[in-house]
């Protein structure tokens, strides 16, 4: 496993990392034992960054992850969780200082740790950016001083939220998702400004939240029908060639030197082994080129959050 420095932090994160949202049964009902085994396998095979949120499975993912981490030495993993998002609709977001503090204390208790390495504000496009800058981020910096959090960052879908945030505030890292994947690599447009400020980049969802898997996207996937159809076509092309679409999707998403780590989610111990092995193998560039043509000229993004926060 290769390790990369995350921005200006002292965190050396594995190039492939573990996203724990599936532990909250967000893609399918999972077996808790399998989920726990998946976490142990990931750590045993060299993954050291684990990401979660109270939102995933409405606290279930943090609870299962807490069970999995019990007894594992704290220096074996780098842990990130989030605050601010507690459901799917606008009223389920709360970026107030009071809620962030309560949320972090609850997360620490579920996870069974005294501090997290990174605390992210979760999907800030659903918040008011003025509040994020004037109340939420200062609160995160206070939590850093208080020793409950080592580094701070924001997550979101529209790329604009990152450029706006780094223009006006100090953050250590960002977590972006679905913007550096086979069907949409627009993250590259904001990489130079993030790098210039020394902001670490964590990329998530190499399969586009299930789009680029043989099982396909879950019902709640926000992608439009044209995108879903093109991804289905990509799956079929790979099946004809005897290649697993997830192998290509994963190898593409992790193949950018500016991205410190890419989070992949699974609650299947067999799949985490495959993912780690695939990450070490060279990518089939000819197949990537062919698959990427399927997404030319179709809308590959979707709205997320308030209109003023869209790209």
Contact region with ligand NAD (CB under 6 A), list: 71-79, 107-115, 138-146, 261-269:
261-269
Catalytic residue among 55, 56, 77, 151: 56
Per CB under 6 A, does 125 bind ligand NAD?
no
Binding mask 94-123 for ligand NAD (x = CB under 6 A): ----------------------------xx
Q: Are strands 261-265 and 78-83 parallel, antiparallel or unpaired?
A: unpaired
- Considering only CA atoms, which of 241, 188, 187, 177 is closest in space to residue 210? 177
For ligand NAD, the binding residue among 6, 16, 20, 279 (CB under 6 A) is: 20
For ligand NAD, the binding residue among 14, 25, 213, 261 (CB under 6 A) is: 213
Angstrom distances, CA of residue 275 to CA of 118, 122, 143: 24, 25, 34
Please give the residues from 36 up to 55 whose contact with ligand NAD meets the rule CB under 6 A.
51
Per CB under 6 A, does 177 bind ligand NAD?
yes
Contact region with ligand NAD (CB under 6 A), list: 41-49, 131-139, 222-230, 260-268:
260-268
The answer to whether 153 and 171 have CB atoms below 8 angstroms apart is: yes
Residues that bind ligand NAD (rule: CB under 6 A) add up to a total of: 27
Q: 94 or 147: whose CB is closer to ligand NAD?
A: 94
Per CB under 6 A, does 200 bind ligand NAD?
no
Task: Verify whether residue 56 is a known catalytic residue.
Answer: yes
Per CB under 6 A, does 203 bind ligand NAD?
no
* Rounded-to-integer distance, Cα 303 and Cα 270, Å: 34
CB of 87 to ligand NAD, least distance (A): 13
Strand partners, 297: none
Strand partners, 14: 3
- Side-chain-side CA neighbours of 48 within 13 Å: the count stands at 20
* Rounded-to-integer distance, Cα 36 and Cα 138, Å: 35
Q: Is 243 helix (H, G, I), strand (E, B) or coil?
A: coil
For ligand NAD, the binding residue among 22, 35, 153, 223 (CB under 6 A) is: 22
Strand partners, 154: 121, 174
Q: 66 or 210: whose CB is closer to ligand NAD?
A: 210
Give, as one character, the DSSP assignment of residue 55.
Answer: T
- Considering only CA atoms, which of 81, 88, 74 is closest in space to residue 103? 81
* Residue showing tokens 């960002």: 174
**Would you tell me the crossing angle of helices 269-279 and 32-44 to the nearest 10 degrees?**
30
Contact region with ligand NAD (CB under 6 A), list: 35-43, 163-171, 220-228, 262-270:
262-270
- Which residues of this chain interact with ligand NAD, rule CB under 6 A? 19-22, 27, 51, 122-123, 155, 175, 177, 204-210, 213, 246, 263-266, 271, 274-275
């Amino acid at each position: 496993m290769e390790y990369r420095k995350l921005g200006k932090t002292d965190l050396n994160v594995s190039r492939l990392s573990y996203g724990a949202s599936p532990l909250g049964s967000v893609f399918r009902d999972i077996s808790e034992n399998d989920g726990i085994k998946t976490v142990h396998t990931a750590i045993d095979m060299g993954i050291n960054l684990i990401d979660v949120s109270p939102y995933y499975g409405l606290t279930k993912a943090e609870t299962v992850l807490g069970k999995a981490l019990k007894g594992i030495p704290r220096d074996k993993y780098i842990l990130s969780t989030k605050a601010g998002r507690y459901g799917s609709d606008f009223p389920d977001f709360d970026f107030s200082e009071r809620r962030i503090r309560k949320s972090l204390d609850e997360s620490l208790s579920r996870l069974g740790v005294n501090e997290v390495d990174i605390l992210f504000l979760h999907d800030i496009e659903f918040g008011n950016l003025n509040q994020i800058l004037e109340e939420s981020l200062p609160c995160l910096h206070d939590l850093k001083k208080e020793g409950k959090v080592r580094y701070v960052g924001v997550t979101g879908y529209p790329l604009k939220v990152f450029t706006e945030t780094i223009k006006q505030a100090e953050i250590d890292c960002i977590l972006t998702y679905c913007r550096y994947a086979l069907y949409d690599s627009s993250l590259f447009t904001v990489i130079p400004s993030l790098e210039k400020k020394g902001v670490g980049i964590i990329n998530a969802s190499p399969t586009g939240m299930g789009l680029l898997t043989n099982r396909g996207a879950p019902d709640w996937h926000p992608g439009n029908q044209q995108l879903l159809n093109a991804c289905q076509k990509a799956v079929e092309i790979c099946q004809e060639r005897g290649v697993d679409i997830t192998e290509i999707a994963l190898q593409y998403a992790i193949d950018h030197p500016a991205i410190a780590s890419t989070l992949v989610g699974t609650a299947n111990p067999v799949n985490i082994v495959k993912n780690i092995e695939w990450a070490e193998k060279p990518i089939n560039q000819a197949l990537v080129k062919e698959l990427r043509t399927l997404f030319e000229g179709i809308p590959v993004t979707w709205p997320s959050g308030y209109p003023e926060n869209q790209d």
